[in-house]
């Protein structure tokens, strides 16, 4: 007998009251098409608790990962639902004979940072921190402190763009002359990338532009006395510079 015959017989028995109609339909409905439709409603074994597959942003990253490296690369910006606190130390400041510490608070794609550097000698590294006129005049520049804060936003992966507000103190002298002091103030952009090495250990790579927007000097110039006579010098301008920092991040 064909399946069609079974259907007809089922309806006959149902009419006689000898077989429930639902039961007769169930006996003949177990076809490949029906089985396929049943499996289509079954949640994917790889799906999450709500039947949805996890996205790449859910993968362990940074402090939440025990992998090496603990960085999870992705094109979209990391958008952490837990606030993250980090502390880092600049390597360039160490090379200039000083020290810098920065504290960073991140939430979702936003970050806020405060940093403080001290005891920097710009003549170190062959005058790496000096501008051309300062080298020509053989000036000595010492920075007792540089301090300020920045705010920014993550663009993709751990690449972020921000703006920084900084205050700097300088002590400068010409050869054989007494030092003179002044302050400068900068507002400029910063772009950086955070790479997580292991758990919360990370390296920050920065490119900054700190143009001088104000000083405590008249006409932004200073008059210095040295063994070779008076020297008139513009207030120091940081301009563009790069840096690398090493730090540790914590989820809070």
Which whole number is the average pLDDT over 45-54?
A: 45
Alpha helices by DSSP H, listed for the chain, are 3-15, 21-28, 32-40, 91-95, 124-127, 132-136
Q: How many CB atoms lie within 10 A of CB 130?
A: 20
Of the candidate ranges 17-21, 80-84, 190-194, 247-251, the one whose mean pLDDT is the lowest = 17-21
98 vs 221: CA distance, rounded Å: 26
pLDDT at 53: 46
CATH code for the domain defined by 76-251: 2.40.160.20
- Please state whether 171 falls in left (phi above 0), alpha (psi between -120 and 50) or beta: beta
2 vs 5: CA distance, rounded Å: 5
pLDDT at 58: 67
Q: What percent of the chain clears pLDDT 90, i.e. is strictly above it? A: 68
For the chain, domain boundaries: 3-34, 76-251
Which residue would you say has higher pLDDT here, 22 or 98? 98
pLDDT tens digits, one per residue of 84-123: 999 999 999 999 999 999 999 999 999 999 999 999 999 9
On the question of pLDDT at 23 being above 60, the answer is no
Q: Is the dihedral of CA 131, 132, 134, 138 positive or negative?
A: positive
pLDDT at 166: 98
pLDDT band at 241 (very low <50, low <70, confident <90, very high): very high
What tokens does 220 get?
Answer: 């932004």
Angle between helices 21-28 and 3-15 (to 10 degrees): 170
85 vs 249: CA distance, rounded Å: 6
On the question of pLDDT at 52 being above 80, the answer is no
What tokens does 46 get?
Answer: 């790889």
Q: What percent of the chain clears pLDDT 70, i.e. is strictly above it? A: 77
pLDDT band at 228 (very low <50, low <70, confident <90, very high): confident
**Residue 57 · residue 76 · CB < 8 Å:** yes
pLDDT tens digits, one per residue of 171-193: 999 999 999 999 999 999 999 99
**Summary mean pLDDT of the chain:** 83
Closest by CA to 225, choosing from 184, 152, 172, 155, is 172
């Amino acid at each position: 007998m064909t399946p069609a015959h079974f259907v007809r017989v089922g309806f006959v028995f149902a009419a006689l009251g000898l077989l429930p109609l639902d039961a007769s339909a169930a006996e003949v409905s177990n076809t490949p098409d029906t089985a396929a439709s049943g499996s289509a409603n079954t949640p994917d074994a790889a799906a999450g608790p709500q039947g949805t597959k996890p996205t790449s942003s859910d993968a362990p990253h940074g402090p939440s990962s025990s992998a090496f490296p603990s960085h999870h690369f992705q094109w979209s910006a990391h958008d952490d639902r837990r606030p993250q606190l980090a502390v880092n130390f600049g390597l360039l400041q160490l090379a200039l004979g000083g020290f810098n510490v920065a504290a960073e608070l991140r939430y979702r794609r936003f970050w806020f940072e405060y940093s403080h550097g001290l005891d920097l000698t710009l003549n170190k590294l062959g005058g790496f921190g000096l501008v051309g006129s300062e080298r020509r005049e053989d000036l000595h520049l010492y920075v007792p402190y540089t301090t300020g804060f920045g705010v920014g936003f993550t663009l993709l992966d751990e690449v972020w763009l921000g703006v920084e507000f900084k205050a700097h103190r300088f002590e400068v002298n010409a050869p054989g002359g007494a030092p003179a002091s002044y302050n400068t103030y900068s507002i400029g952009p910063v772009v950086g990338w955070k790479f997580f090495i292991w758990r919360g250990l990370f390296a920050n790579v920065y490119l900054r532009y700190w143009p001088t927007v104000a000083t405590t000097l008249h006409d932004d110039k200073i008059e210095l006395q040295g063994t070779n006579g008076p020297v008139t010098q513009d207030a120091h301008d940081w301009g563009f510079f790069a840096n690398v920092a090493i730090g540790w991040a914590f989820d809070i």
